[in-house]
Protein backbone atom coordinates (compact mmCIF):
# COMPACT_ATOMS: atom_id res chain seq x y z
CA UNK A 1 0.00 0.00 0.00
CA UNK A 2 1.52 3.32 -1.02
CA UNK A 3 2.08 5.99 1.60
CA UNK A 4 -0.72 8.33 0.58
CA UNK A 5 0.43 11.02 3.00
CA UNK A 6 3.27 11.71 0.56
CA UNK A 7 0.66 13.30 -1.71
CA UNK A 8 -0.69 15.72 0.92
CA UNK A 9 1.57 18.65 -0.06
CA UNK A 10 0.44 18.30 -3.69
CA UNK A 11 -3.21 18.06 -2.68
CA UNK A 12 -2.98 21.09 -0.40
CA UNK A 13 -1.19 23.13 -3.08
CA UNK A 14 -3.90 22.35 -5.61
CA UNK A 15 -6.69 23.10 -3.14
CA UNK A 16 -5.11 26.41 -2.16
CA UNK A 17 -4.99 27.43 -5.83
CA UNK A 18 -8.41 26.16 -6.94
CA UNK A 19 -10.81 25.93 -3.99
CA UNK A 20 -12.36 29.39 -4.45
CA UNK A 21 -13.01 28.93 -8.17
CA UNK A 22 -16.66 28.05 -8.85
CA UNK A 23 -17.06 24.52 -10.24
CA UNK A 24 -13.56 23.57 -9.26
CA UNK A 25 -14.18 19.98 -8.14
CA UNK A 26 -13.40 18.36 -11.50
CA UNK A 27 -10.33 20.53 -12.20
CA UNK A 28 -9.05 19.73 -8.70
CA UNK A 29 -9.53 16.00 -9.23
CA UNK A 30 -7.82 16.14 -12.63
CA UNK A 31 -4.90 18.11 -11.19
CA UNK A 32 -4.44 15.65 -8.33
CA UNK A 33 -4.56 12.69 -10.71
CA UNK A 34 -2.10 14.37 -13.05
CA UNK A 35 0.29 15.04 -10.19
CA UNK A 36 -0.07 11.84 -8.19
CA UNK A 37 -1.09 9.44 -10.97
CA UNK A 38 -4.35 8.66 -9.15
CA UNK A 39 -6.74 10.11 -6.56
CA UNK A 40 -5.48 8.94 -3.17
CA UNK A 41 -8.24 8.25 -0.65
CA UNK A 42 -6.59 10.76 1.66
CA UNK A 43 -7.61 13.49 -0.82
CA UNK A 44 -11.34 12.94 -0.34
CA UNK A 45 -11.75 14.50 3.14
CA UNK A 46 -9.33 17.30 2.23
CA UNK A 47 -11.33 18.19 -0.88
CA UNK A 48 -14.66 17.85 0.94
CA UNK A 49 -13.56 20.25 3.66
CA UNK A 50 -12.04 22.78 1.25
CA UNK A 51 -15.13 22.86 -1.02
CA UNK A 52 -17.69 22.51 1.78
CA UNK A 53 -19.00 19.26 0.34
CA UNK A 54 -19.65 15.93 1.99
CA UNK A 55 -17.10 13.15 1.52
CA UNK A 56 -19.88 11.13 -0.16
CA UNK A 57 -20.37 13.88 -2.75
CA UNK A 58 -16.66 13.93 -3.58
CA UNK A 59 -16.49 10.14 -3.66
CA UNK A 60 -19.57 10.03 -5.87
CA UNK A 61 -17.94 12.25 -8.50
CA UNK A 62 -14.73 10.22 -8.42
CA UNK A 63 -16.58 6.95 -8.92
CA UNK A 64 -18.88 8.39 -11.63
CA UNK A 65 -16.04 9.19 -14.03
CA UNK A 66 -14.17 6.11 -15.20
CA UNK A 67 -11.03 8.09 -16.00
CA UNK A 68 -10.37 8.78 -12.33
CA UNK A 69 -8.16 6.16 -10.76
CA UNK A 70 -8.23 5.41 -7.04
CA UNK A 71 -5.16 3.18 -7.10
CA UNK A 72 -1.67 3.97 -8.36
CA UNK A 73 -1.24 3.32 -12.08
CA UNK A 74 0.82 0.44 -13.39
CA UNK A 75 4.21 1.14 -14.90
CA UNK A 76 2.86 0.44 -18.40
CA UNK A 77 -0.70 1.15 -19.56
CA UNK A 78 -2.01 -0.92 -22.48
CA UNK A 79 -5.26 0.36 -24.01
CA UNK A 80 -6.64 -2.26 -26.38
CA UNK A 81 -9.53 -1.32 -28.63
CA UNK A 82 -12.55 -3.60 -28.54
CA UNK A 83 -14.88 -1.60 -30.76
CA UNK A 84 -16.49 -3.14 -33.83
CA UNK A 85 -13.71 -2.81 -36.39
CA UNK A 86 -11.01 -4.08 -34.04
CA UNK A 87 -13.27 -6.87 -32.79
CA UNK A 88 -13.80 -8.03 -36.37
CA UNK A 89 -10.01 -8.11 -36.85
CA UNK A 90 -9.25 -10.24 -33.80
CA UNK A 91 -8.80 -7.88 -30.86
CA UNK A 92 -10.65 -10.33 -28.61
CA UNK A 93 -7.94 -12.91 -29.23
CA UNK A 94 -5.26 -10.32 -28.57
CA UNK A 95 -6.90 -9.49 -25.22
CA UNK A 96 -6.91 -13.18 -24.30
CA UNK A 97 -3.25 -13.43 -25.35
CA UNK A 98 -2.31 -10.51 -23.10
CA UNK A 99 -4.29 -11.83 -20.14
CA UNK A 100 -2.60 -15.21 -20.34
CA UNK A 101 0.90 -13.94 -21.12
CA UNK A 102 0.89 -11.32 -18.36
CA UNK A 103 -1.29 -13.24 -15.84
CA UNK A 104 -3.66 -10.29 -15.56
CA UNK A 105 -6.36 -10.28 -12.91
CA UNK A 106 -10.04 -9.47 -13.52
CA UNK A 107 -9.25 -5.74 -13.47
CA UNK A 108 -6.56 -6.19 -16.10
CA UNK A 109 -3.64 -5.59 -13.73
CA UNK A 110 -0.53 -7.72 -13.40
CA UNK A 111 0.38 -8.88 -9.90
CA UNK A 112 3.69 -6.99 -10.00
CA UNK A 113 1.91 -3.71 -10.95
CA UNK A 114 4.06 -3.40 -14.06
CA UNK A 115 1.24 -3.65 -16.60
CA UNK A 116 -2.40 -2.68 -16.73
CA UNK A 117 -4.67 -3.60 -19.65
CA UNK A 118 -7.62 -1.32 -20.28
CA UNK A 119 -10.39 -1.85 -22.79
CA UNK A 120 -11.23 1.17 -24.93
CA UNK A 121 -13.75 1.69 -27.67
CA UNK A 122 -12.11 3.18 -30.73
CA UNK A 123 -8.71 4.81 -30.91
CA UNK A 124 -9.45 6.47 -34.24
CA UNK A 125 -7.42 3.89 -36.17
CA UNK A 126 -10.28 1.73 -37.43
CA UNK A 127 -8.81 1.47 -40.96
CA UNK A 128 -5.74 -0.17 -39.42
CA UNK A 129 -7.44 -2.50 -36.95
CA UNK A 130 -6.75 -4.04 -34.54
CA UNK A 131 -5.24 -1.16 -32.63
CA UNK A 132 -3.77 -0.57 -29.17
CA UNK A 133 -1.98 2.19 -27.30
CA UNK A 134 1.02 1.39 -25.15
CA UNK A 135 1.90 4.20 -22.77
CA UNK A 136 0.13 6.66 -25.05
CA UNK A 137 1.71 5.46 -28.30
CA UNK A 138 -0.59 4.01 -30.95
CA UNK A 139 0.14 0.65 -32.58
CA UNK A 140 -2.07 -0.62 -35.39
CA UNK A 141 -2.44 -3.67 -37.64
CA UNK A 142 -1.48 -5.80 -34.65
CA UNK A 143 -0.87 -9.48 -35.00
CA UNK A 144 -0.22 -11.93 -32.16
CA UNK A 145 3.47 -11.91 -33.10
CA UNK A 146 3.73 -8.10 -33.19
CA UNK A 147 1.89 -7.88 -29.90
CA UNK A 148 4.30 -10.35 -28.30
CA UNK A 149 7.25 -8.36 -29.62
CA UNK A 150 5.82 -5.06 -28.33
CA UNK A 151 5.16 -6.53 -24.88
CA UNK A 152 8.69 -7.95 -24.75
CA UNK A 153 10.18 -4.58 -25.63
CA UNK A 154 7.99 -2.86 -23.08
CA UNK A 155 8.92 -5.25 -20.27
CA UNK A 156 12.60 -4.98 -21.16
CA UNK A 157 12.42 -1.22 -20.78
CA UNK A 158 12.85 -0.46 -24.47
CA UNK A 159 10.75 2.06 -26.35
CA UNK A 160 7.44 0.44 -27.20
Instruction: Name residues contacting ligand FES, limited to 76-95 (CB under 6 A).
Output: 81, 83-86
Q: Which of 15, 50, 74, 125 binds ligand FES (CB under 6 A)?
A: 125
Ramachandran area for residue 72 (φ above 0: left; ψ -120 to 50: alpha; else beta): beta
128 is in an annotated binding site: no
Least separation, in Å, of the C-beta of 119 and ligand FES?
11
Task: Report how far residue 51's alpha carbon sits from residue 46's, in angstroms, rounded to the nearest whole number.
Answer: 9
Which one, of 102, 79, 101, 107, lies nearest residue 91 by Cα?
A: 79
81 is in an annotated binding site: yes
Query: Given the complex with ligand FES, which of 81 and 98 has the nearer CB atom?
Result: 81
154 is in an annotated binding site: no
C-beta of residue 75 within 8 angstroms of C-beta of residue 114: yes
Least separation, in Å, of the C-beta of 84 and ligand FES?
6
Task: Report how far residue 51's alpha carbon sits from residue 53's, in angstroms, rounded to the nearest whole number.
Answer: 5
The alpha-helical segments, DSSP class H, found in the chain are: 8-18, 25-36, 43-51, 55-64, 84-88, 91-102, 144-155
Query: Given the complex with ligand FES, which of 37 and 92 has the nearer CB atom?
Result: 92
Whole-number Cα distances in Å, 57 to 7, 54, 60: 21, 5, 5
86 is in an annotated binding site: yes
Torsion of CA 83, 33, 68, 63, to 10 degrees: 180
Least separation, in Å, of the C-beta of 90 and ligand FES?
11
Q: Which of 11, 102, 129, 154 binds ligand FES (CB under 6 A)?
A: 129
Query: Given the complex with ligand FES, which of 43 and 131 has the nearer CB atom?
Result: 131
Q: Which residues are annotated binding-site positions?
A: 81, 86, 122, 126
**Which parts are annotated binding residues for [2Fe-2S] cluster?**
81, 86, 122, 126
- Binding-site ranges for ligand FES (CB under 6 A): 81, 83-86, 122-126, 129, 131
Amino acid sequence: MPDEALHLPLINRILALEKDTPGSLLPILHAIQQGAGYIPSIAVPEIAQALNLSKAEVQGVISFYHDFRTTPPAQHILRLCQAESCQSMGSGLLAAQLKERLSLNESGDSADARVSLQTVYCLGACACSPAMEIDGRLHARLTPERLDDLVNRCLEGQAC
